[in-house]
Amino acid sequence: AQTVTQSQPEMSVQEAETVTLSCTYDTSENNYYLFWYKQPPSRQMILVIRQEAYKQQNATENRFSVNFQKAAKSFSLKISDSQLGDTAMYFCALKNSGGSNYKLTFGKGTLLTVNP
């Protein structure tokens, strides 16, 4: 069975500062995808960033970047220049590739509040 652990239930950061959200995972597969999803209060869940396990280079999307450590099974999200609109629940998720793998395994989430 695969698991995803987010050890920080809640975090806060001041506007314009940098914050890092932690995620560790466990899977017996060698090929898989990792994702960070953002769900603002009462709003739609959107994909923030994705990482293919076979790629050593860390994914980056504008102010969002990841630190992917495959050996340590760690996948943290760094948000630079935090904005008020970044306030949301952030979910780390894992999906194995291949076969009939359909399931996204989510962590419990980290509630991030950006303060003005």
Partner 1 sequence: DTEVTQTPKHLVMGMTNKKSLKCEQHMGHRAMYWYKQKAKKPPELMFVYSYEKLSINESVPSRFSPECPNSSLLNLHLHALQPEDSALYLCASSQHGTSGVLRDEQYFGPGTRLTVT
Q: Give the interface with partner 1 as residue ranges (CB under 8 A).
A: 33, 35, 37, 43-47, 50, 89, 91, 95, 97-104, 106-109, 111
- Closest approach, Cβ 25 to partner 1, in A, equals 13
Residues 65, 59 contacting (CB under 8 angstroms): yes
Cβ proximity to partner 1, 25 vs 91, nearer residue: 91
Cβ proximity to partner 1, 18 vs 62, nearer residue: 62
The set of residues, in sequence order, having a beta carbon less than 8 Å from that of 6 and lying 6+ positions away, is 21, 22, 23, 90, 91, 92, 107, 108, 109, 110
**Coil/strand/helix, residue 16:** coil
The set of residues, in sequence order, having a beta carbon less than 8 Å from that of 104 and lying 6+ positions away, is 35, 93, 94, 95
- Closest approach, Cβ 39 to partner 1, in A, equals 9
- Closest approach, Cβ 109 to partner 1, in A, equals 6
- Residue 37 exposed, middle or buried by CB count within 10 Å (0-12, 13-18, 19+): buried
- Closest approach, Cβ 16 to partner 1, in A, equals 27
Cβ proximity to partner 1, 71 vs 99, nearer residue: 99
Cβ proximity to partner 1, 63 vs 95, nearer residue: 95
